[in-house]
Structures are given as C-alpha cells and as structure tokens.
Amino acid sequence: MNPGARLVVLGKQGAGKGTQAVRLSRHYVVPHVATGDTFRAAVRSGSEFGQKARKFLDAGELVPDEIVIGMVQERLTRSDTTHRGFILDGFPRTVHQADALIDFLSPVTLDLAINLEVDTEHVLSRLAGRRVCADCGANYSVVDNPPRVPGICDVCGGDVVQRDDDTEAAIHRRLELYERETSPLIMWFDERDLLTSVDGMGTPDEVTERLVQAVDGRKRRPPALA
Ligand code: ADP
Ligand code: ZN
C-alpha cells in the first residue's frame, strides 16, 4: 500500500490546482482538503456560516485568517488525515496561515509544497472557461474538460455554471491578493527547504506525471542532516 503524502499545492487562480489536487489525492490515497470547496459548499447550504463566507467569496476577498485556520486545523486533526496525510488546496494563502499550519502539524512536517507555475496570460483564459457544478461542486472547463452533456454535471446531473466569483472584477481582485498575500509563500517554503516548482502548462495528464515525479523524488531523498 502506498504510504500517503502531506502536500500543499500553491498556484495562481486558474493554474489547475484544483484539478491536479484531486488527481494527487487519488494517486496517494489521501483526502483532498480544498478550502474554496468547503466555503462554496457552505454557501450552497445556506447556513449562517455560508452567508457570512459568501460576502468574501463573491468579492474575491480572503476569508479572515482566524476562520480559515480553525476550519483547516479541525479537518487536519481527524484520523484519516493524521494517518495517511492530505493534499491541501487553497491553504495556506497567507504567511500567517502557513505559520499556523506548521505549528498545528508539529511534530509532523509537510513532505512538500508544490508551486504549480502558469503565466498570467494563460490563467486568464482558463478562468474564462472554468465552470462548476452548482450542486456538487465538480470542476469543468469548456475548453479542456467539458461535461459529457453540455451544462449538465457528469457526477450528479446538476447544473454546470460559471462560479459567482469568476467575474472580471473578482478575478482581478483574487490575482492581486495572490501576488500580495500568497506569492510570498513561495520564498517562505523555499527557505524551509520544502518547495518545489512544477510547470503547469500542458495536458492535465502531463502535469500530473510531473507532479508525481517531483513528490516521489522528494520522498526518496535521504532526510537532511540537522
Ligand atoms: P481560487 O484559487 O480560484 O481563488 P478557491 O476555490 O481556492 O479559488 O477559493 C475561493 C475563495 O474562497 C477565495 O477567493 C477566498 O474568498 C476563499 N478562500 C479559500 N481559501 C482561503 C484561504 N486559505 N484563506 C482565505 N480565504 C480563502
Ligand atoms: Zn454535480
């Protein structure tokens, strides 16, 4: 049995983080922990928490650190993730979140943070084609990965729609926040010898192959001397 993995996937909006994180979670047989999916599910449920989160999501703003950190910490202390690991998608997104992550995982550490690299020109066209199931949250792309029947989810038969935060204004704001709040994490993980960068261009299969090679190469490396 494959030994699991503890990974963070970093990348701009539209870099393919979500798609690749789902594939990595199947490959390593570990839960996919996607904060954006959790927030969108809360919004769909109409709960009070969801109504609060919706204001941030629709505007492309970050949900406050205290809320996100508490949510992820709770998820990463359940037995499935403590035993086999996890693929974190969309967290951490600020240095404060990264500090909190390392703290609450301790004494266990991450295997790796992967920076999935795609230039801004490409992410903009990918975001324009991105679609999501309004019922179950499955991701699609009108270009690369359309549902079998246009507008209908392959998984649950729900309506496949554009995300409420894939408007021009919210996309602009999210990319701005990515540069300001999240891109410093690339250095942050690199300084801790936890970073690898992977080219996110090419077919989804090509990118998955590169990611698996990067992760397996890393796991074979002998532990660093203290
Ligand atoms: P994208 O990468 O396209 O922005 P996500 O699904 O990862 O999409 O996130 C959607 C939204 O959920 C974000 O714009 C933000 O409002 C909220 N969110 C997700 N993860 C975090 C986080 N770690 N910290 C703060 N807000 C978050
Ligand atoms: Zn669906």
Residues 54-108 have pLDDT tens digits of 999 999 999 999 999 999 999 999 888 888 999 999 999 999 999 999 999 999 9
End-to-end CA, the chain: 30
- Going by CA atoms, what residue is nearest to atom 14 of ligand 1? 60
% of the chain at pLDDT higher than 90? 73
Name residue 112's beta-bridge partners: 7
Q: What is the pLDDT of residue 80?
A: 87
Burial 42-71 (b: 16+ CB within 10 A, else e): bbeeeeeebeebbebbeebebbebebbbeb
- Going by CA atoms, what residue is nearest to atom 16 of ligand 1? 57
Q: Is the Cβ atom of 13 under 6 angstroms away from ligand 1? A: yes
Q: What is the pLDDT of residue 226?
A: 47
Q: Which ligand is nearest to the CA of 40?
A: 1
**Active-site residue identified among 40, 93, 126, 210:** 93
Question: Could you give the strand order of the β-sheet that contains 195-199, starting from the edge strand earlier in sequence?
Answer: 32-34, 85-89, 5-10, 112-117, 195-199
Active site residue 130: yes
Q: What is the pLDDT of residue 218?
A: 84
| Mean pLDDT within 172-187 | 96
> What number does the ligand 1 atom closest to the CA of 37 have?
6
224 or 46, higher pLDDT:
46
Q: What is the pLDDT of residue 222?
A: 64
| Ligand 2 center to 139 CA (angstroms) | 9
Q: Which ligand is nearest to the CA of 65?
A: 1
Q: What is the pLDDT of residue 220?
A: 73
Q: Summarize pLDDT for 138-160 with one digit per residue, the tens.
A: 889 888 889 999 999 999 999 99
Active site residue 126: no
| Mean pLDDT within 6-11 | 96
Any idea what the Cα angle at residue 147 is, between residues 146 and 148, rounded to 5°? 110
CA distances to 15, 44, 87, 129, 189 from 126, rounded to whole Å, are 8, 24, 22, 5, 26
Q: What is the best residue among 63, 132, 133, 177 to mutate for testing ligand 1's pocket, by most ligand atoms within 8 Å of CB?
A: 63
| Ligand 2 center to 190 CA (angstroms) | 37
Model confidence, pTM: 0.90
| Ligand 2 center to 130 CA (angstroms) | 14
User: Would you mind telling me the total number of residues written for the chain in this entry?
Assistant: 226
Per-residue tokens: 164: 């409420």
Q: What is the pLDDT of residue 98?
A: 98
% of the chain at pLDDT higher than 70? 96
Per-residue tokens: 180: 């300001």
Active site residue 174: yes
Name residue 34's beta-bridge partners: 89
Name residue 88's beta-bridge partners: 8, 33
Per-residue tokens: 126: 């990918």
Active site residue 163: yes
